[in-house]
């Protein structure tokens, strides 16, 4: 939003300052990060993993929970983290671990992380966020000054709409938001293509409305969620590397979309929106088939979703429709059941923990050393 308003302000000041100041102003945020980062603590899991004592990690955990260091809730979560760390210590580390199963589907979880962030960009958001003034000017016939001004208010709406996301990302859940809003963006982009193709004043007003609707759908479903999801879905051992590469996938998609958008709009016009509408439809289908829900589950509980569990899978399969069995990864319904149980515990006033989910997620006939340790911890 600041970028748009600064660009608009300097539109009235021709010369080198028109582009030099907006570029220089970005240094303000870089300086802020340099100043504030030394005071940020590392995460409890990172501290407990890298230090011989769990004291500093427990202290950070107590501050996050706003409870004393010796509070039972803090101590219970500390023990669960330490247990998970001890189990993961036996797994393979390093870059190779990103493409290894590791006994917990680590490679599949890594691919999920890459996919969700790359698909964020194939939604077509940067057609709107970067090129909204270009759309208003070239496709809708607005003046350059008015196009920039309208683009500023588009970003104001973007921020206002995002406040709702803070509530919905947990209340509705990551998976539902991703699917529903991908379908919403698909519909909006089709409507945008129709109004741009028709042209005229009334169609132009409708086209502007659909641009605003698109940004609303995006921020409610695909803005914050895809940055939360990789850290939640990846195992601790590869979380830093996996999340970093997932972010790289996001910006690779960003680069591709930003590069192809101007020539696409110039050469095929409104059909550009149809391409990204199809991408959104595909993204909704992929999320439906392969992406498990992670809301209401702590990180240790998410790990347990990916362990073999024949008994749980048989229970799920008995209650599934045939077409669900054919297209959905078995982890997806497994996660849905775990989330429902965690919600029920929360409503009853009990905090969901690793053990609550574990009673269902750990197979009773574990053959691997890792599963045996989980089963032992549950006992």
Mean pLDDT of 168-187: 93
Res 353 pLDDT > 70: no
Mean pLDDT of 258-267: 88
Please give the pLDDT value at position 177.
94
CA distance 50 to 237: 11
Please give the pLDDT value at position 170.
87
Chain centroid to CA 226: how far?
Answer: 1
User: Do 147 and 112 share a domain, yes or no?
Assistant: yes
Instruction: Express each pLDDT in 330-341 by its tens digit.
Output: 888 888 888 888
Res 372 pLDDT > 60: no
Res 140 pLDDT > 80: no
Please give the pLDDT value at position 325.
67
259 Cβ partners below 8 Å, 6+ apart? none
Q: Is 34 part of a structural domain of the chain? A: no
Number of domains in the chain: 3
CA distance 366 to 258: 49
Please give the pLDDT value at position 318.
66
Exposed/middle/buried for residue 98 (C-beta within 10 Å: 0-12, 13-18, 19+): buried
pTM: 0.79
Q: Is 252 part of a structural domain of the chain? A: yes
CA distance 91 to 76: 24
pLDDT band for 297, please (50, 70, 90 cuts).
confident
- Tell me which residue of 279, 264, 269, 7 sits closest to 154, measured CA to CA: 7
Q: Is 352 part of a structural domain of the chain? A: yes
pLDDT band for 355, please (50, 70, 90 cuts).
very low
Instruction: Express each pLDDT in 16-74 by its tens digit.
Output: 999 999 999 999 999 999 999 999 989 898 899 888 889 999 999 999 999 999 999 89
User: Do 312 and 336 share a domain, yes or no?
Assistant: yes
Q: Phi first, then psi: what are they for 45, rounded to 5°?
A: -65, -40
**Where residue 190 sits, what CATH number does that domain have?**
1.20.1250.20
User: Do 175 and 246 share a domain, yes or no?
Assistant: yes
User: Do 152 and 203 share a domain, yes or no?
Assistant: yes
Least confident range from 89-98, 331-340, 368-377: namely 368-377
Domain endpoint, select from 270, 290, 310? 290
Task: Provide, rounded to the nearest whole percent, the portion of the chain with pLDDT above 90.
Answer: 42
How many CA atoms are closer than 13 Å to the CA of 322, on its beta-carbon side? 0
Structural tokens at position 353: 């923990």
Please give the pLDDT value at position 324.
67
21 Cβ partners below 8 Å, 6+ apart? 6, 10
213 Cβ partners below 8 Å, 6+ apart? 184, 188
Q: How many residues are listed for the chain in this entry?
A: 379
User: Do 169 and 247 share a domain, yes or no?
Assistant: yes
Q: Are 253 and 118 in contact (CB under 8 A)?
A: yes
CA distance 272 to 281: 15
pLDDT averaged over the chain?
84
CA distance 326 to 214: 32
15 Cβ partners below 8 Å, 6+ apart? none
CA distance 375 to 379: 6
Instruction: Express each pLDDT in 188-228 by its tens digit.
Output: 999 999 988 887 778 888 888 999 999 999 999 999 899 99
User: Do 154 and 277 share a domain, yes or no?
Assistant: yes
User: Do 142 and 216 share a domain, yes or no?
Assistant: yes
Range of the domain at 335: 299-378
How many CA atoms are closer than 13 Å to the CA of 196, on its beta-carbon side? 24
Mean pLDDT of 343-361: 58
Mean pLDDT of 133-156: 83
User: Do 120 and 51 share a domain, yes or no?
Assistant: no
Helix (H, G, I), strand (E, B) or coil at 76: helix
Structural tokens at position 226: 């895809």
pLDDT band for 378, please (50, 70, 90 cuts).
very low
Helix (H, G, I), strand (E, B) or coil at 232: helix
């Amino acid at each position: 939003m600041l970028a748009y308003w600064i660009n608009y302000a300097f539109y009235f000041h021709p010369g080198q300052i028109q582009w030099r100041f907006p570029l220089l102003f970005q240094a303000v945020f870089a300086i802020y990060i340099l100043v504030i980062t030394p005071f940020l603590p590392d995460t409890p899991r990172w501290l407990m993993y890298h230090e011989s004592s769990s004291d500093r990690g427990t202290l950070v955990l107590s501050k996050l929970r706003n409870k004393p260091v010796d509070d039972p809730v803090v101590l219970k979560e500390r023990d669960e983290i330490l247990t998970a760390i001890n189990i993961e210590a036996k797994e393979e580390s390093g870059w190779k671990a990103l493409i290894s199963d590791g006994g917990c589907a680590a490679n599949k979880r890594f691919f999920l992380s890459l996919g969700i962030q790359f698909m964020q960009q194939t939604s077509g958001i940067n057609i709107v966020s970067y090129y909204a003034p270009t759309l208003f000017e070239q496709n809708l016939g607005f003046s350059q000054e008015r196009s920039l001004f309208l683009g500023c208010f588009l970003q104001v709406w973007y921020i206002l709409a995002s406040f709702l996301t803070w509530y919905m990302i947990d209340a509705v859940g990551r998976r539902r938001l991703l699917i529903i809003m991908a379908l919403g963006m698909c519909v909006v982009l089709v409507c945008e293509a129709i109004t741009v193709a028709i042209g005229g004043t009334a169609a132009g007003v409708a086209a502007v409305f659909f641009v605003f609707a698109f940004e609303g759908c995006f921020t409610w479903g695909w803005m914050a969620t895809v940055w939360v999801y990789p850290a939640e879905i990846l195992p601790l051992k590869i979380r830093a590397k996996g999340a970093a590469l997932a972010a790289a996938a996001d910006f690779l998609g960003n680069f591709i979309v930003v590069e192809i958008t101007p020539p696409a709009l110039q050469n095929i016009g409104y059909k550009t929106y149809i391409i990204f509408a199809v991408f959104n439809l595909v993204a909704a289908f992929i999320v439906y088939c392969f992406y498990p829900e992670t809301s209401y589950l702590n990180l240790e509980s998410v790990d347990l979703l990916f362990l073999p569990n024949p008994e749980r899978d048989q229970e799920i399969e008995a209650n599934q429709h045939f077409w669900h069995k054919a297209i959905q990864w078995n982890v997806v319904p497994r996660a849905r059941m775990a989330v429902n149980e965690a919600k029920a515990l929360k409503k009853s006033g009990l905090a969901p923990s690793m053990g609550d989910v574990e009673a269902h997620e750990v197979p009773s006939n574990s053959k691997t050393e890792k599963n045996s340790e989980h089963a032992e911890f549950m006992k």
